[in-house]
Amino acid sequence: MRSTVALGALASLLLAAPAVCQGGDLVLVVLRAPTPPKPLDAARSQQLMAAHMANINRLVKEETMLFAGPLVQSKQTMDERGIFMLDVPTLEQARAVVATDPAVAAGVFDAHLSTFVTPDPLRRVLELERAARQAQRARGEPAKIEMRVWTMANAKAGAATTAAVAKLRDRDAVAFAGTASNGPDAGVWIVLDAADPTAAQTHLDAVGGDVEWLLRPWYGSVHLDQVPRLAVRDDAPSFEILAIGKQGRFAAFHGTFARRIDVFGVQALATADVPHRKLLHAAHVMAQYLDNDEDGMVDDPKAHAVLVKGGAHLVMAATERDFHDLDPDWEALEGAGFRIGQDLYGEETLPAGPPHVRARGRFDASLEEVWHLVSNGWEIAYPDDFGYRPGSRLCDAMDLARGGRFLRMPRRYPDKAWYHYDDRTCDYRCMAAEYFYWSLTTLLGGQDYPGRAREIEHEWECPTPESLARRDAAVHALLSDPRRALPRVLPDGSYGQ
């Protein structure tokens, strides 16, 4: 039994780590002409622009850049030239990415970077672009990014601006919106579904409010019009298996892990020798824990936000031995914002094993290890209920189940105890995490199959939902509390099917 791999002190790291772009945050880059402009002859200018476009295409292919596009200058924005949206975890890494642009390196553009926070699922734009290019190739057409004119607007942040954006969303006038921090571009930025500033101003006049918007036409992906629809689905997982490149948000995993699946912003990653079906099974179990009613939206946004902000990730190797032979750069992962991690092995991931079938056999460990990962969301979001410290409702129930409050493992548990975990490397927090797993999966029927009671009785003596209700009333009441959106159905690896 293994609890979450802690990459540092979990709760404190979630509150610390300055300059890390937390969770769904991105980096907005506004390219401007320097003052004075860089003098270039026509041939050199053409050469740099070709290299600039090639670099953009490379970054999009590596998923470091979500999209880019030129801005049309107006009297108020004469120095603006274009926009990048980067998917990297820190401003420092964003600066390194921008420095690879030949036009920036040559001084043709000055790059102004801001952390960009948005509720909109902009990372899904890459999926839409890939699907469009595949369709183009299927039709025998050259694959290309399709662009159209939008209107990009920005204003100072404030209550009036927030209210205006909400009204614009109600009018279906917004492709995406977010808040930039740092530097001259701080404030609210929106992309309006309007081909010119006059049409955009019509939308703005209709919502009113004392907000001074700066408008300019912008060429961006045609697929941005689908972002509002995707947002309604809360970025439901597609279970697409993606390669891990040398650049971008997941670069710290490159060289150790080869593939990943995004599950509501939580990552499932695997080495090259883990079978696809096992990675997919683990990802589906994760999705079912997070979206137990399978309506395309996470059941507990607060717990989910903790996981996304902490860069929660499941890492899979083929065997336990293989995992211990890996040598990932844990400091680089933590620095990149991936601070909540859990391991799982292909050899113990058993889609056809119990409890998915009511027969004797080896337990599907994905149910345990994936829960150890995602349960951090509830533990941190609701510390009074699920905190792994003495005095929480979970730990008060655990102390009853262990026959006393033992901050260290006792030499012998009292005879009345029904939870007696015996791993001396497991501290009180670890004991609480294991208890959370045992009690929840028991409530969901995950420990109730032939032979299981005897297999686990040295550690846990409540193998059925009925025995849990009878013997551990405190935890049964906690896990059944309707105020907390815990899973109510045991995952079986068939999300959406």
pLDDT, mean of residues 110-119: 92
Could you tell me the pLDDT band of residue 213, with boundaries at 50, 70 and 90? Answer: very high
pLDDT above 60 (res 6): no
pLDDT of the residue at 7: 41
Percentage of the chain lying above the pLDDT 70 cut: 93
Give which of 194, 24, 227, 27 is closest to 128, Cα–Cα. 227
Could you tell me the pLDDT band of residue 1, with boundaries at 50, 70 and 90? Answer: low
pTM above threshold 0.75: no
Rounded to 10 degrees, the C-alpha dihedral 4/6/11/14 comes to -110
Give which of 130, 241, 117 is closest to 179, Cα–Cα. 117
Q: Is the dihedral of CA 106, 110, 116, 120 positive or negative?
A: negative
Q: 14-18, 64-68, 368-372, 405-409 — which one is most confidently predicted on average?
A: 368-372
Percentage of the chain lying above the pLDDT 90 cut: 67
pLDDT above 90 (res 233): no
pLDDT of the residue at 422: 84
Which pair of structure tokens corresponds to residue 302?
């607060």
Count Cα neighbours of 298 within 13 Å in the Cβ-side half-sphere: 23
Q: Which residue has the tokens 């096992």?
A: 278
- Exposed, middle or buried: residue 212 (CB in 10 Å: 0-12, 13-18, 19+)? exposed
The better pLDDT of the pair 197, 476 is held by 476
pLDDT above 70 (res 408): yes
Could you tell me the pLDDT band of residue 332, with boundaries at 50, 70 and 90? Answer: confident
Q: Is the dihedral of CA 262, 265, 270, 276 positive or negative?
A: negative
pLDDT above 90 (res 129): no
pLDDT above 80 (res 223): yes
Report the range of poorest mean pLDDT among 67-81, 149-163, 282-296, 309-323: 67-81
| Domains located in the chain, CATH noted | 5-13+234-479 (no CATH), 25-232 (3.30.70.1060)
Rg of the Cα trace of the chain? 26
pLDDT, mean of residues 50-60: 93
Which pair of structure tokens corresponds to residue 319?
């065997």
pLDDT in tens, 375-396: 999 999 999 999 999 999 999 9
Give which of 242, 271, 285 is closest to 345, Cα–Cα. 271
Measured CA to CA, the distance from residue 36 to residue 5 in angstroms comes to 52
pLDDT in tens, 143-163: 887 899 999 999 999 999 999
